Amino acid sequence: MMIRDERQKVGLKKLLRVVVVAGPLLVIAHPLAAEERNVIVSVPGIFGPYCAYGVEKRLFELAGVRRVDLLWEKEQIRLSIKDDKTVTSEQILAAFEKSEYPYDYKILGQ
């Protein structure tokens, strides 16, 4: 039992390290509260439907994405992640790449 607790502590420390070090690169869906499972992406210049729909279409193809909201005035996209899924920043960036979005975009965080 003791050994198990120690293992759990070590495991927790490892998890903490992963979150601190790789936090910006990883969007963790499951363990966080609902409001924390949103990811905001800055998308300057996303005024036209041809660009916006192209990006949204590729983001919806990610298995973990529940909802995509275009925050038009802020030039941002808000991704809502499904409760039991994980979406990595690499997947998000790959979706943008696939959409051929012509301007700079940046994951701002959760």
Partner 1 sequence: MRRKLLKVLGGLLLFLAVSLVGGWLAFVPWSKEPGYAFVTAWGEKGDGPGQFNDPTGIAVTGGEVFVADSRNGRIQVFDFEGNFKRQFGEPGKGLGELSRPMNLRIANGELYVAEYWNDRIQVFGLDGTPRRIIGSGGSDPGHFNAPGGVAIAPNGDLFVADFYNQRVQQLRADGKFVRQWGTTGAVGIWSGEFNYPTDVVLGPGGVLLVADGYNDRVQVFAPDGSFLRKWGGPFGMNIFGPFNGWFAVVTSLVVDRQGIVFAADFYNHRIQTFTADGTFLTAFGGKGNGPGQFSYVTAVAVAEDGTVFAADYGNNRIQKWRSMADMIGQ
Tell me the sheet residues that pair with 40.
78, 109
Choice between 47 and 109, CB closer to partner 1: 47
Task: Give the footprint of partner 1 on this chain (CB under 8 A).
Answer: 47-50, 53-54, 57, 72, 100, 102
Q: State in angstroms the smallest separation of the CB of 94 from partner 1.
A: 16
How do beta strands 87-88 and 26-27 pair? antiparallel
Q: State in angstroms the smallest separation of the CB of 27 from partner 1.
A: 24
Choice between 73 and 84, CB closer to partner 1: 73
Would you list the DSSP string of 54-72?
HHHHHHHTSTTEEEEEEET
